Structure 1
């Protein structure tokens, strides 16, 4: 029944967002004969009424960064414009490129292009609100404030939960933020039990190959999911983000039970990875001998938002247990 409810609510969202059909007709299309029961069920599952969802969905809100897009989607807000790129933001590009009507150019940290390159397009959109981060340059912030009501999310020393709550307060969607956080915490408790049974006391090391070198890698998202929430045993950890070069001898000393590995897409990085696999030092590592090396990509592991954190949790479950729960973000936003 939960699965069927997910199907119905998900399809109802599509109708509410993309058509002008009456509520009664949408209820019938998704399998509810009583539109009033449908409305109550929708509000219980989503946090807002169907009419409020449709109204908020169609507001012209511009997201100035990928992380802001991830927060907005967690609040059931589809931005009218957001940075999208098939290479660097494949999840958002593939899932939402038809629903996000205006595709902004990807800027720092993905490319060296300044955000100013998007200003003309944003003027054309005539947004109702603009949400960016406090990392935008003061001159850019001033121009955005002239266009529409703005909110700049603080990034330093502010966790994703508080960032989500701040954006929710700006958009008057606090209930949706708390619902998302509550569901995430429930998923964490379930994941922790399952992972304890599989991993036991295994140590985990996250590595990044760039060029001709190996780096121990750590960022805010990994810290939140692996250390704070899942409480996994880490072979190398710091309180701050890092990208520390490691010699093969140092890697042998750490000798983790499991390795998560990011190989940068440059040709030199890929070539080094191919060569590394044939070296005795690599093949003698415990994780390699036990076939516990997991290749991961920058998406979602390098982003920091409510959606990316949830996706990291599900990815960890899939990597370590072979099972992935029906992702909350898929049952809310995607086609089931």
Structure 2
């Protein structure tokens, strides 16, 4: 068994036994390594120490129990691997930003939304909405992870439909969050059934997140999420710079037989602001402009990121395009530096989408996967009390 396989087995072991007393010495012994070498190897392989990973799992499990059970604090502490409930409380507050009791109370808010982006922001704050848009085509990530755990699946195409009203009334949310200005009819109806409407008007994802956090009393969690993202972005930037160096990047969108020079706000934020990748001149701001193959060849970027519309005619053209001489002459094509991006999360603008874009960029360009397992805000552990 190689060291890398052994480290993966150890990581699996931690995930399965995080509720037990585990020490670095014990884990190193299982791996057949010295404690110091094991610690260095684990951090190099996974981007965080074994202790931090263990803490992440324990706190994630504690969040679930605080939301979904009526266990006493001392029982939750023991359940997740802490023998001292006071130490657990201090550790929880350090990691989450609020005490377990404050988190438990806030987690029981019932929140609904018509917006996919709002759902991404709520998940970043540790809240699973009781009602949200669920569609296997338009929001596959959220559908795959949460469709069984969200009681009411709303439609975004006709928000004021009788079906949406009926579903919202059935789950009795306390708050409904909009990211597009609601109609007076919708506001009046929500208020008539005791639901508080909140309209989030800011554009930047960080201010969106903090405005929602302020509305539901989760400012510390929002601040922690942003802090963690910035730290991860800095590490990703350093890793990517070792690979990409001074390479010039272009992001394209292919629709039917037309290429577009494309850059939305999320792409701008992640690629060209946080990671400081070098864009072609026309992508120093958001854009969606037609571009011919000849114009692309004249620019000849080192790396191409390509979003392909999912319709049949576009896919057929994409297959044909790869045999066109001028396409094959592109430096990025010659070097195998063409990366096809899925529409999700690259068309969504939320805290979770931005976090996923960062992870996917790091994986594409370096082969390093920062999240081999679902992290606590993304996976089943993020269920809020319903």
Tell whether the structures are fold-level matches, with TM greater than 0.5: yes
Deviation for aligned residue 1:229: 1.4
Q: For the structure 1 residues 211 and 144, does the alpha-carbon distance in structure 2 shift closer, same or farther, using more than 3 Å as the test?
A: farther
What is the CA deviation profile of residues 205-257 of structure 1, one whole-angstrom value per residue up to 9, with x for unaligned ones?
A: 11111112111111010111112211111115356533212111111112111
Contact 2:247 2:278 in 1 (8 A): yes
The more displaced of 130-139 and 298-307 is: 130-139
1:60 and 2:110 matched: yes
**Secondary structure at the residue paired with 1:115?**
coil
Task: Tell me the matched-pair count.
Answer: 328
Q: For the structure 1 residues 259 and 138, does the alpha-carbon distance in structure 2 shift closer, same or farther, using more than 3 Å as the test?
A: farther
The 2-side partners of 1:312 and 1:268 are apart by 27
- Structure 2: segments with no counterpart, 5+ residues: 1-50, 382-386
2:23 corresponds in structure 1 to none
Contact 2:134 2:142 in 1 (8 A): yes
Q: For the structure 1 residues 135 and 210, does the alpha-carbon distance in structure 2 shift closer, same or farther, using more than 3 Å as the test?
A: farther
Deviation for aligned residue 1:2: 0.7
Contact 1:6 1:332 in 2 (8 A): no
The 2-side partners of 1:172 and 1:328 are apart by 29
1:123 corresponds in structure 2 to 169
1:90 and 2:134 matched: no
The 1-side partners of 2:297 and 2:52 are apart by 47
What is the CA deviation profile of residues 284-319 of structure 1, one whole-angstrom value per residue up to 9, with x for unaligned ones?
A: 111000000111101111111111111111111111
1:200 and 2:245 matched: yes
The 2-side partners of 1:39 and 1:299 are apart by 37
What is the CA deviation profile of residues 70-119 of structure 1, one whole-angstrom value per residue up to 9, with x for unaligned ones?
A: 111111122111111122212112222233222212x2xxxxx2211222
The 2-side partners of 1:19 and 1:325 are apart by 30
1:110 corresponds in structure 2 to none
Larger Rg: 2
What is the CA deviation profile of residues 15-39 of structure 1, one whole-angstrom value per residue up to 9, with x for unaligned ones?
A: 2233333322222222111122212
1:134 corresponds in structure 2 to 180
Q: 1:160 aligns with which of 182, 205, 209?
A: 205
The 1-side partners of 2:201 and 2:84 are apart by 44
Q: For the structure 1 residues 231 and 42, does the alpha-carbon distance in structure 2 shift closer, same or farther, using more than 3 Å as the test?
A: same
1:35 and 2:85 matched: yes
Contact 1:134 1:153 in 2 (8 A): yes
Contact 2:254 2:260 in 1 (8 A): yes
2:10 corresponds in structure 1 to none
1:170 and 2:215 matched: yes
TM-score by length of 2: 0.80
Contact 1:307 1:329 in 2 (8 A): no
Deviation for aligned residue 1:328: 11
1:281 corresponds in structure 2 to 326
- Structure 1: segments with no counterpart, 5+ residues: 108-112
What is the CA deviation profile of residues 165-196 of structure 1, one whole-angstrom value per residue up to 9, with x for unaligned ones?
A: 11111112211111111111111211121122
Q: For the structure 1 residues 227 and 197, does the alpha-carbon distance in structure 2 shift closer, same or farther, using more than 3 Å as the test?
A: same
**Secondary structure at the residue paired with 2:276?**
coil
